[in-house]
Homo-oligomer: A and B are copies of this chain.
């Protein structure tokens, strides 16, 4: 069973970090393959970046269609997630959706830690579109401009924010959403009185669970395969996406 982890950022270091974390959490029966989108911003931190990354994710998936049992979109804004579900024949998960749905099973009130403050309203819209926004009791981000240097500084800075979510907002589980926080869940869990989830872990394990279910591809509804369609000015994966339908 192969799970494709798509990095919607064009930063290759992030692809390696995602792959490493995915391999660490995944059951032995699954094989992780990681890939970087062919174009777009180096690191997503704004609405502009997410909009371009959505198209880039589709371009990559069109190139890889048919080679995996499930896919993971490895950025917290879930760029292109629903469109990917439409064009692929296998399940797709996203970091935001998968981690919040996982967290729903571990705590009544969920606290989110994000890397970029301007992304907060966009994540809130995403949660509302998912229909689970009532379960999220707070979202914290580091102050604009703060740049923790060492891992210890990062744990100290984000740890104080997470503790505030527990003590003031009543969070019963913390989700780590920012790319810089990959792999830090165990360190946070030591210092906090509630479970702490790495969103990459959650998305990979949800993808594995969905792959085992082997759900049939819908032929109707918004996730039914789209027909081939005329397009203009596209090349590579995106051109194929429209020429072939899926």
Contact = CB atoms under 8 A, between A and B. Distances in A.
Contacts of A189: 215-216
Contacts of A166: 220-221
A39 B234 contact: yes
Contacts of A49: 226, 229
Interface residues of A, number: 96
Interface in A192-230: 193-197, 201-202, 205-206, 208-210, 212-213, 215-224, 226, 229-230
A172 B42 contact: no
Nearest to A239: B39
Nearest to A106: B215
A25 B215 CA distance: 13
Nearest to A92: B105
Given A121-B222, A233-B10, A233-B39, A51 B83 contact: yes
Nearest to A219: B193
A222 B130 CA distance: 19
A108 to B, nearest CB: 3
A134 interface: yes
A221 B54 contact: no
Interface string A107-149: 1110000000011111011101111111100000000000000
Contacts of A75: none
A101 B105 contact: yes
A105 B98 contact: yes
A134 to B, nearest CB: 4
A27 interface: yes
Given A54-B55, A171-B221, A189-B216, 8 more contacts: A27-B212, A29-B29, A52-B241, A82-B108, A85-B106, A125-B129, A130-B135, A193-B219
Closest 6 CB pairs of A and B: A39-B233, A195-B215, A108-B121, A205-B209, A51-B83, A172-B221
